[in-house]
Structure 1
Amino acid sequence: MRDSLTRWERLKPQYVRPLFMRALAALLMLVIISPTVIAISDGQDIKIDLEIYGEDILPTYSESVQAAFARVENLNQYSQDELEITKEWLVVTQVPEKKQVWTIPSPKFIEKVSLLPNSYIWHFNKPLEAIPKLQEALELGQIESFSPLVVSQTLQTRDNPNDPEFASQWHLENTGQTGGLSGEDINATDIWDNYRGQEVVISVVDDGLDHSHVDISPHYNSTFSYDWCNDDPDPTPNSWDEHGTAVAGVAAAVGNNSLYVSGAAWEATIAGSTLIACGTSDSVEADALSFYQNDIDIYTNSWGPSD
């Protein structure tokens, strides 16, 4: 033994330091590449690989779904009473379902959400005790999101308009009627019970506006309208110029009048500026886009190549 110590003591510092640095580097690499594990202490040291690999899940969802998650994740919007009785929580995680019971929150029951990959409903008997554990799991990377499935108030019928073509307006309420993904729309119907564009003035700067149309005329404002091509106050289009009227209908066609379609803001005031039906100068365009600027709230300019 003494002979071994003597040989070790005789090693020069320039040999010892590289050996130490290589050992330290190897240890750091093991820490970096090791998968997430948890330790269970019940008399023996057992480690469970939670199999968290690859990129995060949330960024793969659509922007509207990500925004919805960001909105419901804020626990400050819920009362203590609501959280206390909420036993179901929506969780996004890469941990396989069979191993989720080994995460820090340790849910009592797990349901997979079929429409959202890697999303699950976790059940807890004591939700208030689960919240700090969910937060810890989030900070440690075991989960990416958690939000309560709060029991909502009794639902009521939404104030949808009675216009005959409303059912085909997928951009307002997408039920999959054209083969698209149900729910992917502008979410206008969610606010129509309280707000439908009242006191908002929209100017359609386009190829004209047929203000005699029954879905336009009730909310048409002639004062805020102008024909910049003919230098007169009437934006009525040529028979072949239909784009501006269509745009006006999408924005603010009168809703709930049992006629044709509904606009997104179907109680807004609508005005028209005929501009792109002719060649104009930059100064005329500037005049159109600042016309009654203190009274007009929105200028819509759907310009582009012929479609």
Structure 2
Amino acid sequence: MPSKLFGLIVCTLAAGGCALTDQSRHTKTSDVPPCFAAPEIVIPTARASYIATGTYEVPDDIRGILLTKQSAKYVSLPWIAEAILKGPVQEVSSFQVWSQDNSLSRLLGKSDEAVVVFLVSVPRKSVTYHLLNSPAAVQAVDELLLANVHHEIERQALIVSRWQPDRDLPFYTDVEKLISKLSVVDGAKQQRVFDELIELGTPAIPAIIDQMDNRAQLRTSYVRLSNQHSDSFEAYRQYSPELVVDAIAAILNHQTGEYFGSIYNGDEDDQRDATVAGWRVYAHDLKCSKA
């Protein structure tokens, strides 16, 4: 990578971790515009838990699996990171891809090239990283892309750090009353609260996001959402959320089709934090699209 690009990188491996470079350290928050400059990377940046430059390999045996698409499974690609833009400082040495992903031709074509990857963490016994399901997940490194990604990471961090409740949002008090019930009702009554939140409709989504970060324990670890796709095998999607925030994330996915982490069946608090942050960026940018 050309040396002049390193001023755009948030974390460099050569520096021993996530130390801000001179350029990013001196960036004034007032210089970061409130709305996005590169809309095509907004959602991928918000969804990704790890963004980095580097190279990956597609071993011959894996290449055969990916080309034939005969096996439906995750396969691991070796990854050598050069610079971390977002995510953990610990080494990520591989990432998983779905063998029947429709974008595999693009992935195969960039093997051994310098790329930017957008990955999501999947907590299991040990954390693994999966390639984000997005056309933007693997892109050739260039100066403009790195500048846009760096800017977007800073912009989103600014949105999250400055987040304040907004009681003037439409349906704010309606949402507040419904969410307050979720720590005291259970069973069918709890499901009815979820249904009433959905029935408030699209105009209530910003108010739901505004109040979603509620870590109260649900009395019944269950939410049922109707499948809206005509080709669905089942009439409902069913999850086992542990906390109010888990269920609200599922409801927002149901209403918008977007997702910022699958915490619908419960998860660790850091995953919940990341999901809430992603939804706050989404809510902020709804205002941008209306401006």
Q: Please report the TM-score for the alignment, with normalisation by the length of structure 2.
A: 0.22
Q: Which has the higher helix share?
A: 2
Ranked by relative contact order (alpha carbons within 8 Å, sequence separation 6 or more), the top structure is 2
